[in-house]
Amino acid sequence: MSQSIDLAPVNALDQTAFVRTFGSVFEHFPQAADGAWPRRPFASARALHDAMMDVIRNLDAQAQCDFLNLHPLLSGANIRAGTMTADSNAEQKSAGLDAMTAQQEATLERQNAAYLERHGFPFIICVRHYTREGIFAALERRLDRATHQEIDEALAQIAAITRGRLNERLGALERLTVSVT
């Protein structure tokens, strides 16, 4: 996580602007940004991310499960259909999930369904850190784990995903701030 970004403009945002800027960092869950806003001023990008993750970690078990269910299935069909957020679409494409064979897509669909049935939420992985083959191997390996382990793993993967997304937002904000001043 970049520590050199000047967070003064972020810390100066009112709550509406803050949520508008960072609300999409977490998949369909602007409440992470909304809940983090009162913890300003943020000393670093890490502190901002930690505040947002704390919102997720402090949800009760049912709300956490509901949050996990906001995440899309890994799927070439979802990429082609355009049914995911722009972030998820780009992330899944980066792992080559838009270029799978019919057999790979069928295997992924089967594994996704088995995972969802077993754990009650979709398989979540920071696809930018894996190859397509690595994603398939991780899904196979994690399928039979205990659900409480998978909740912890899903939250760790979401932390990795959202660190990248937050860095992108902060970089864009910094570029905008620099070009305006």
CA 107, 150, 132, 97: dihedral to nearest 10 degrees? 70
148 catalytic, yes or no?
no
Any idea what DSSP says for residue 96? Answer: T
From 177, 124, 129, 175, select the one nearest 152 (Cα to Cα). 124
Structure tokens at 105: 């897509």
Where do we find the tokens 């949800």? 59
Task: State whether residue 73 is helix, strand or coil.
Answer: coil
With CA atoms as reference, report the closest residue to 28 among 74, 81, 115, 87.
87
Q: Per the residue annotation, which of 71, 119, 129, 148 is the catalytic one?
A: 71
Residues with catalytic function = 71
